[in-house]
Amino acid sequence: MFRTLTNMRRLWRMARALAQHDALVPHEYASRVPMPVRFMARRIGRAKRDVRMLPPGVRLAQSFEEMGPSAIKLGQLLATRADILGPEIALGLETLQDRLPPFPEAEARTIVASDLGRPLDAAFSQFGAPVAAASIAQVHEAYTTDVPPRHVAVKILRPNIIDDFARDFDAFRFAAKLAEGVSGEARRLRLRALVETLAASVALELDLRMEGAAACELAENMRTEPAFLVPLPDWSRTSARVLTTEWIEGVPLRDAANLAASGHDPKPLAVIILQSFLVQALRDGFFHADLHPGNLFVDAEGRIHAVDFGIMGRLDFPMRRFLAETLGGFLARDYRKVAQVHFDAGFVPPVHNVETFAQALRAVGEPIFGLRARDMSMARLLEQLFDTTRRFDMQLQPQLILLQKTMVIVEGVARALDPEFDIWESSRPVIEQWMLDHLGPEARLREAAEGFSSLGKLAQNFPQLLHDTELIAGQLADGGLRLHPESVRAIAISQLRRTRHARVALWIAAGALGVIAISGF
């Protein structure tokens, strides 16, 4: 009972902040709201006239900023959900600023000494004032006590932030549960799952050791991508509330004038950012989900350095396949294939007709291909795609939330660097390479080899069959059966236009090759 009252009190304060910014029942939409609700909203609070002149999405963003860190994080997530709030309000939420005044330097020094278990001057020979402050943490420039000293960035959690988030998210869960209990639309949108996704993401941000681990994992994944670099943590100076990493010497990507003065060509930078993101998402299933210009720096050699790994996204293999085949299908303008991908993944209930869904997808895709490159937006395509799937009862897929948010940010960064940026042509090599690696003939043969190996392990009473199966599996895995590289590429790219029946035929061919190979022994 006490917990319920506490949640209701916190929600009341949030409702008051919304009302005072004319964001609880915006006047533009008041006529659609029942009179008792409008009356209650007026009793909670009234907005000043100058506030009411702002766009509704901007007013909502300002109310979230006033409510504090938890609401800011919620607003950032809702900015990706035009299906919940509508495109106008979602666009306004993109103005949300995740910046707060820094907390005192003396308090930061106390936290560092306490968490590292030693005096601050035993870890750092110099420790400066904060250079950046956001809703969760702030960053200080420092030098270590090593010989020679190393230039580092020290990130420190805000005092009491963990307890504040715990209380706020308890209230968010309470509100989502109430909403799903009375609204079918809230259940379809899976508001509780939305809150839990955000809570899980923030929980990782609140343990800076997890951010350090994320930086290490991303650096390892991207070691073959020399144009995208990740600063590594100093684990001897890192704890749950303190993260020390290499200091990045470079020009902030948001500083266009300085970029130009330094002689950097913005066009290749746009390609690096987009392709690096797609490599992370598709190839590795682990991507930086906060790639805004303030987190990206360009060094003297034109390489991109990313910082701030508190928000990371993961995609399992089925979701990566869904994404690649969806984008590949749109690239090939094969809307029947895209529709079938949705049905095969179980995202669209079978009560709907595949052909009708393909027709709806065509209405999304065709207008895009008549536009100039600068006007073709992948982020807008995903937004319209998800809006269309809503009409076909597709439930929200939590794994796609951060992906969609990051795609919006990445595309915006790329367009700012190069207004003529062709996002589709820049994306094509990464998507096609993924299709080649995972859906091409050699990938099918590798899967067949794994299948033969598994069958061999079960055939304990057939030693010779086991020997033959393991032998052929080993040869396949070692590249014993190969096609000409150009043939492989042509077949893999053709996967963009293949029907499910053609893929079945390819499996049959792979199986036949395996049988022929075994019989050869």
Could you check whether the bond before residue 268 is cis, i.e. omega within 30 degrees of 0?
A: no
What is the distance between the alpha carbons of residues 304 and 313, in angstroms, rounded to a whole number?
19
Give, for 313, the enclosing helix (H) or strand (E): strand 312-314
Q: Which of 22, 290, 418, 468 is catalytic?
A: 290
Phi, psi of 229 (to 5 degrees): -120, 155
What is the distance between the alpha carbons of residues 22 and 16, in angstroms, rounded to a whole number?
10
**296 SS3 class:** strand
Residue 290 is among the residues annotated as catalytic for this protein: yes
What is the distance between the alpha carbons of residues 449 and 441, in angstroms, rounded to a whole number?
12
Query: 105-136 as b/e, with b when 16 or more CB fall inside 10 Å?
Result: eeebbebbbebbeeebeebbeebeebebbbbb
Q: Are strands 151-157 and 137-144 parallel, antiparallel or unpaired?
A: antiparallel
What is the distance between the alpha carbons of residues 474 and 476, in angstroms, rounded to a whole number?
5
Q: Hey, CA dihedral for 338, 342, 344, 349, is it positive or negative?
A: negative
**521 SS3 class:** coil
* 20, two tokens: 């005072």
Phi, psi of 499 (to 5 degrees): -90, 170
Q: Are strands 286-288 and 251-252 parallel, antiparallel or unpaired?
A: unpaired
What is the distance between the alpha carbons of residues 81 and 250, in angstroms, rounded to a whole number?
34
CA atoms within 13 A on the CB side of 28: 14
**288 SS3 class:** strand
Closest C-alpha among 104, 95, 142 to residue 122: 142
Which residues, in sequence order, are bridge partners of residue 314? Answer: 286
Q: Active-site positions?
A: 290
